[in-house]
Amino acid sequence: MESLKTKVLEQIMLAKQASRQMALRSRDEKDKALFAIADQLIADEAAILAANEQDLSRAEADGQPASYLDRLRLTPARIRDLVDGLHQLASQEDPVGQVMESWTRPNGLAIKQVRVPLGVIGMVYEARPNVTVDAAAIALKTGNSIVLRGSHSAVHSNLALAGSIRHALSAAGLPSDAVQYLPYAEHESVDVLCTANGLIDVIIPRGGAGLIQRVLKQSSVPVLETGVGNCHLFIDSQAAYGMAEAIVLNAKTSRPAVCNAAETLLVHRDWPLTHQHALLKSLLSAGVELRACEQTKALHPDLADQLKDASDADWDIEYSALIMAVRTVDSLTDALEHIQRHSTGHSEAIVTEDLEAAERFLAAVDATTVYHNASTRFTDGGEFGFGAEIGISTQKLHARGPMGLPALTSYKYVVHGTGQTR
């Protein structure tokens, strides 16, 4: 009997073989395959929903909460969203084959730096089955193979979706083995994926901090880390009130659960006290729980009942909820010091009319994206104009911040000579 490791490695090797063909396919061939996948999902809708029903029944029997069931659930409308996403992706430029740079050396060697696919992507993710289609589509568009390992609670849904994708690939003349789904409940299947150096070129974990940390620790294959966002807004002494209020409310309340939402508000103590007071009232009116430092509470005694006490731990929490930590700082330097200590390096913003303070902030803060007079909520592939987004990288190697299609490519040097030797 085959061991689990052997079975997983076989799938990975099939993906590797297919990746060599994928790398040579034209944009036109890949886009046709994306349309074929879209058509196949519509044709297979009943079977996909039936498979999803199996996963939902089990999750319900297991007593999973409603929010969990909602993430797991597929509906005709959600399948339509996947189809729309595939059509949009097909309309985007193909980064593969782009000549990034080219030059000729004094000895006549002509060197070109050409974008190529990464090869084989390993994807480990939780719950939502739509990731199966989104991730496979982005990998195929960029000429890669992908080995998927989703949450075992969605295994029937994921296998049905992967089956439709593979069927459509064959019909479109592309290697169906470019998309592999690992259906194993055992965590060992993730271990094999994360240590398949030479076969897997990058691992992308998508999910909670626990999943990401586990993959980071056990992986010898390079990992593209998408991390948490403990994002700060600093209201400088020279901030315009209306702008500050609009940005703070937007960054905190428009979608508190996402990683680019703001968690901590830093207020310069020299910002007019009436402004400070109005801003806190405005946040409270919007239903935001405020956890304030002692200085803030002292400055606004009439709000004492409505301001909770911030503990030291509050400066490091990504609330992902309508809660905000508030701290009064004595200077821009103190704000920078606070951010340096507590930032997760995701997105940080300053609101000010003082251009010198803004430039100092933008230069000193070490984060994927730093903002002057705009909401942190813009850290997003779509908002940046990238089209498809693979995630937001919080590491510094390879890709940082919102990742578009080029993040799934590497490059090679193509050198033409006329017999040069060294």
Among 238, 401, 403, 405, binds a second copy (CB under 8 A): 401
Contacts to a second copy from residues 342-381, by CB under 8 A: 362-364, 366-375, 377-379
Among 26, 333, 340, 356, binds a second copy (CB under 8 A): 340
**Nearest partner of 173 among 283, 39, 307, 18, judged by Cα:** 18
Judged by DSSP in three states, 102 sits in strand
Q: What is the DSSP string of 81-98?
A: HHHHHHHHHHTSPP-TT-
For position 224 contacting a second copy by CB under 8 A, the verdict is: yes
The 104-133 site mask, x for binding a second copy (CB under 8 A), equals -x---x-x----x-xx--------------
For position 418 contacting a second copy by CB under 8 A, the verdict is: yes
Judged by DSSP in three states, 100 sits in strand
Segment near a second copy (CB under 8 A); pick from 55-63, 73-81, 125-133, 241-249 = 241-249
For position 222 contacting a second copy by CB under 8 A, the verdict is: yes
Shortest CB 359 distance to a second copy, Å: 9
For position 242 contacting a second copy by CB under 8 A, the verdict is: yes
Q: Are 140 and 1 in contact (CB under 8 A)?
A: no
Shortest CB 377 distance to a second copy, Å: 4
Nearer to a second copy, 285 or 421 (CB): 421
Q: Are 50 and 19 in contact (CB under 8 A)?
A: no
The 245-274 site mask, x for binding a second copy (CB under 8 A), equals -xx-xxx--x--------------------
338 token code pair = 């606070």
Q: What angle do CA 262, 268, 273 make, to 5 degrees?
A: 105
Extended beta strands in 201-343, E state: 202-206, 231-235, 262-268, 289-292, 307-309, 323-329
Nearer to a second copy, 56 or 223 (CB): 223
Shortest CB 255 distance to a second copy, Å: 9
Q: Are 276 and 336 in contact (CB under 8 A)?
A: no
Task: Scan for tokens 């060992």, then name that residue.
Answer: 188
Nearer to a second copy, 323 or 374 (CB): 374
CA dist 402 and 413 (Å) reads 26
Q: Any idea how long the chain is?
A: 422
Nearer to a second copy, 70 or 356 (CB): 356
Name every residue whose Cβ is closer than 8 Å to that of residue 246 and which is 6 or more positions away in sequence: none
Residues near a second copy (CB under 8 A) are 20, 23-24, 103, 105, 109, 111, 116, 118-119, 197, 201-202, 216-217, 220, 222-224, 240, 242-243, 246-247, 249-251, 254, 340, 362-364, 366-375, 377-379, 383-385, 395-398, 400-402, 410-422
